[in-house]
Structure 1
């Protein structure tokens, strides 16, 4: 199984969701949905003395934290993501009685936690609006000819939370010139050139970019000179 020799943590008990069919080296049971690596070989939860634990999927942070607090024994369940080349947490194994106590605690303050989530969501939304405004202002500083509404649209698209786009990168959050220019170039490429049509017709991405490079530079040069408009474009 990929990467089992280099687990993501050495301070917690780790349980793996295998990517391939694996059998327990001790009892020969399997194929295993979950396994523990001991002495370099896979063992089932029963042979690893973890068979009495129950699986709690990721998603509820408060319940997970409290279930681990209420359990004398717990383990972190991970799975290797081949595309990203790293382990990703899938949930935890906890004692059933500990999970039950955690659920009671969560029910007791569910309304308070709901209100806190609402406040946090409102705060993040306000932060996102301020950041998008700052990003748009930086676009207009670098490209004074870019239509204002277009700059706002580029900023909103590039800085969308959770999108993984350039505005959410470290450079983007710092409003670095390179990140801002990259966001503008991407917008021009898709909206002001036949780039998308070339891709849909089967042209390779790098060839399509080569063909439309002149058109992109023409728009950027116009916007840098301040030859744009106040309305969208």
Structure 2
């Protein structure tokens, strides 16, 4: 059973040495006793907040005590932290720091891996755009691939279909670019035209651009 140390709201005096007011005390026979008299004064306080640090400090400390404070609203004592041996806290902090460094290195490796994946995906998307629309200007195709493939954007290129480079998804990405850059769609929305009506008004203009970008002037989607 854990030793319990109380952080009182009204600070009492020690029942043995009369020292006080006490920021922390233990109860012995329902009387407050200071940490010196309770032989706990050599312990250091570790506030709650880091589960890993708390667990490791507790495991490394041959003696520890749980610090609690009474919550009037909830009508119960709640844990505030631990009293542990200073050497145990130092060991736990060093262990957590090593873990933090390892996690930082792993995050860096993951970021580099994701960046490389994004470059490869954007390249593959660019090639597919130019395969479907070989007359699309190179600079425009690059911009569509870059814009569409941004990780976490929720755009067509980041959907399952887009990542699989399905023709419908790639065409939808190109169509979206044309809609915003080559038609009056955005101006219509600004003027208060509904999205559905605005799309209907610019559909033929989009089809014309896509037709001009396709090889042999095929039928637009």
**Common topology (TM > 0.5):** yes
Deviations 1:185-214 (A, max 9, x none): 000000000100000011111111111111
CA contact (8 A) 2:126 2:145 kept: yes
Per the alignment, residue 156 of structure 1 pairs with 146
Which of 1 and 2 has greater Rg? 2
1:119 equivalenced with 2:109 (yes/no): yes
CA contact (8 A) 2:128 2:165 kept: yes
Distance 1:68 1:137 in 2: 53
Q: What is the TM-score normalised by the length of structure 2?
A: 0.56
Q: How many residues align?
A: 143
Per the alignment, residue 16 of structure 1 pairs with none
Kindly indicate whether structure 1 or structure 2 has the higher relative contact order, using CA contacts under 8 Å at least 6 residues apart: 1
Matches within 5 A, 1:91-130: 105-130=95-120
CA contact (8 A) 1:172 1:180 kept: yes
Aligned-residue RMSD, C-alpha: 3.0
**Structure 1: gaps (5+ residues):** 1-53, 57-62, 72-93, 228-233
Return closer, same or farther for 1:132/1:67 CA change in 2, 3 Å cut-off: farther
CA contact (8 A) 1:199 1:208 kept: yes
**Structure 2: gaps (5+ residues):** 1-46, 59-78, 83-88
Matches within 5 A, 1:128-143: 128-143=118-133
Question: Could you say what secondary structure the match of 1:193 adopts?
Answer: coil
Return closer, same or farther for 1:152/1:96 CA change in 2, 3 Å cut-off: farther
Per the alignment, residue 207 of structure 1 pairs with 197
